[in-house]
Structure formats: structure tokens, C-alpha cells
Structure 1
């Protein structure tokens, strides 16, 4: 059995009742095999990023302890996305609307660069919508190559991001 590893996952969506979807997805993540949820952020309404002509997103982050390896956790995340109606394909608009997006932000303390799996998430240090909830649950977590989440957030604009009640 693999040793336990701390992983951070970003959640987002902007189709349908995104807040309800993220709450249900957090429960689904807590049921993953050999994985337990340690802490989840609040939900945040965030402006669309990349393709701005779409509805605002709801975003969150969760800290997990898992015995899955990074590829196994990523596969489990993709399966949860499918369960919530997300279909990833080449024809899908990049940064477009989605029911649920689960991104493996950090896995342990190292970096992974394999086909289809890059950790830390390649743009984590640039995206306030991912950093705000991450900083809420673990401000001093280190983003390899970029310093702490708190320092990364201080370097980006976080306008328009608000916690949901």
C-alpha cells in the first residue's frame, strides 16, 4: 500500500446550480477509495477567466489525504467529473462553461510532469480563483517553483472574488 500523501484539489463550475454541484462533489471526493477529506474551503463566486463571456464560476479547494498515487487520484477525479455530467474532449472550448472541473493542484511536495499529469497545476500560481480558496485552507503550502500559496496570491489580482454565504 502506498504511503499517505497530502493533495489539494481545486473545484469549479458554472453550469446549473454550481454551488450545489460543488457541495455534492466535495461529498463524492470524501468517498474516494483510500482517501479522506481533511479540510474544504468555503465556496467562492469568481469571475470567468480566459473566456469571460460566460457566467461567473463557483470555486473551492479541498485538502485530501490519500494513499492513491497521483495518476490514480487524477483518474478518480476525472471519474467524479463524468458522474456529474462533465465530458472532456478536444472539441470542448478551452476555459468554457462546465458543470464540474476538478483540478489536481498539488500532490505531496514535489513536481510531476508526465503526459496528461502536471503537478503543481501549471497555472495555479497565476489564478486567483484557485489561490483564494487554497489560501483559506493552507496559506503556507508551497507551490513548487513559486513559493507559498499566500505569496502567489499577493502577486495576482483577486478582484471580484467573493465568498458565498
Structure 2
């Protein structure tokens, strides 16, 4: 079984609808879905706020490249257009980690290189896997303890169905 943690984000159009569409597209693989959080954009800050969530998935026949391709397919189905690095998007699906695999391939870095600096990933991940470990960085609770949670707002009015 290949277990992965995927980060979902959207800051254009029907943000919640795009997250729900991704969750629906991953339905057969889902093991956990975090609450939804609203956060300011990271990287390029002059853009709308994001809705974010974490999903834990697993499958016997999907490796790290399969998770990447599946995420890209979901992004394409949501009409994502890649015009600006860290720019606004209908859907962003990042492969955060896969069964402790490490990779420095230009198309797939694992664990995802931005994870240790992003409360927008770590906080929802803690909700579903409080004892998780980020390869090369340690327990995610310890990694998060060095970050600010300011601006990461849980949206209990938005519940992803799975």
C-alpha cells in the first residue's frame, strides 16, 4: 500500500466547490480529510485568500508519480491555468509526502519543500494525523511549534463530504 498526504488549495472561483471536487475525485483512495482552513496567499501575496485542506490517501497500485499525475489531472479538471508561479489558481494539489519517500527530482520533490514553513499545510495535517512525521524534519507537531498560526482560520461552516 502506498500512503500519501496531499495538500489541497483554491483561491479562485468556487473555492470550496473545487476542494470538494478534488475530494470526490480521490474518494476511492481517501483515509482522512481535514477540516477546511482559510489562509492568506503564500509566496505572491497580492491575490485572494485560499481555502486549504489536507487529505490522506492510500492505494496498492499508486506510487509517488501516480499521486502527482492524479493531482495534476484534478487540477486540469478544475480548469487550472499555470500563468504565474505561486499565482492564483482554481485548484492546487501538492504531494506533501509519500510513505517516507525522499526525492529531489525537478518535477517531484519529496517531502514537498515548502511544507516545513507552511502552517497552511501543517495545521490541517495535525488535525488528521497528530503523530505524523515529516521525513527529514521530525514530528509535524514539533515543526509547527516553530511557526505562527496567525492568519490560519478554521472554517467549520465548510465541511468536505467524503
Q: 1: CA distance between counterparts of 2:76 and 2:134? A: 28
Report the TM-score, using the length of structure 1 for normalisation: 0.90
The separation in 2 between residues aligned to 1:156 and 1:28, in whole angstroms, is 32
Q: Does residue 157 of structure 1 match 2:148?
A: yes
Map of 1:83 onto structure 2: 77
Distance 1:30 1:66 in 2: 11
Q: Which residue of 1 aligns with 2:46?
A: 53
Residue of structure 2 equivalent to 1:39: 32
Tell me which residue corresponds to 1:124: 115
2-side partners of 1:139 and 1:87: how far apart? 34
User: How far is 1:80 from its partner?
Assistant: 1.0
Q: Does 1:144 align with 2:147?
A: no
RMSD between aligned residues: 1.1
Given the two structures, how large is their TM-score scaled by the length of structure 2?
A: 0.91
Unpaired segments of 5 or more residues in structure 2?
A: 158-162
CA distance, structure 2, for counterparts of residue 17 and residue 53 of structure 1: 19
Q: Which segments of structure 1 move beyond 4 Å, counting only runs of 4 or more?
A: none
In 2, the alpha carbon distance for the partners of 1:103 and 1:37 equals: 15
- Choose which of 18, 22, 26 in structure 2 pairs with 1:25: 22
